[in-house]
Amino acid sequence: MNTEITSVGSAGYGVSQEQRHRVLRNTYWLLALSLVPTVLGAWIGVATGITQSLRGGLGLIVFLGGAFGFMFAIEKTKRSAAGVPVLLAFTFFMGLMLSRLIGMVLGFNNGSELIMTAFAGTAGVFFVMASLATVIKRDLSGMGKWLFVGALVLMVGAIVNVFVGSTAGMMAISVAAIGIFSAYMLYDLKRILDGGETNYISATLALYLDLFNVFQSLLALLGIMGGERD
């Protein structure tokens, strides 16, 4: 009887504590692994300049088409042996897409410092949200619909700003993205801990997108506010 699912999470999910910990452990391992192809993709993008031509509407189409295509493929393969390779291919693609921003930041005298600061800031946000997820006892499942609406509004604003090219708009979008995806990080971690997410590939995808958006937004903000030129 001890091996059966007998415990119920705060959101009403009938998932054993052992299974929750296994999903969380596998998610953390895969999340760490996913950073390798991301860094590789970003390095290749910066070294070759392959993404420099992806500006304005073309860049937006390639990014959204590639990202949503990969996410659809991950959803279809998450319960098969192909799930992990598809996820890692997606993270490589996201690294490539990030390389244009990284290349721009590296153009500053203090570019390397800004990248390390953004990385440390993202790691700090993740640590805080992971700690909060373990101590908060209340059900956070109701946050999901509000965060989704916020992310949708944010995406529309970001698309509009691609064509407007407003620096103030970029700063506002970056600040909002940091707030929304930090909250999403807490929400996604709490879902795993409560047993609401039992597939570690889906869990990794959700957390990866949270981290990616926080890092990208922090880096853009730091580049705008703290970039130093000769």
**DSSP output for 139-175:** --TTHHHHHHHHHHHHHHHHHHHHHH--HHHHHHHHH
Q: Residue 58 has what pLDDT?
A: 76
Gap between the Cα atoms of 219 and 58, Å rounded: 22
Look at residue 6 in the predicted model and tell me its pLDDT: 31
pTM assigned to the model: 0.89
For residue 5, is pLDDT > 50?
A: no
Domain ranges of the chain: 17-226
How deeply is 139 buried, as exposed, middle or buried, from its count of CB atoms within 10 A (0-12, 13-18, 19+)? middle
Which letter does DSSP use for residue 138 in this model? S
Residue 14: per-residue pLDDT = 65
Compute the mean pLDDT over every residue in the chain, rounded to the nearest whole number. 87
- pLDDT tens per residue, range 171-227: 999 999 999 999 999 999 999 998 888 899 999 999 999 999 999 999 999 988 877
Q: What per-residue confidence (pLDDT) applies to 230? A: 62
pLDDT digits (tens, 9 = 90+) for 132-166: 999 988 888 888 899 999 999 999 998 888 888 78
Structure tokens at 86: 């598809």
Least confident of 65-79, 86-100, 157-171: 157-171
Q: Indicate the range of 1-10, 96-105, 158-167 predicted with least confidence.
A: 1-10
* pLDDT one-digit tens code per residue, 21-57: 899 999 999 999 999 999 999 999 999 988 777 776 7
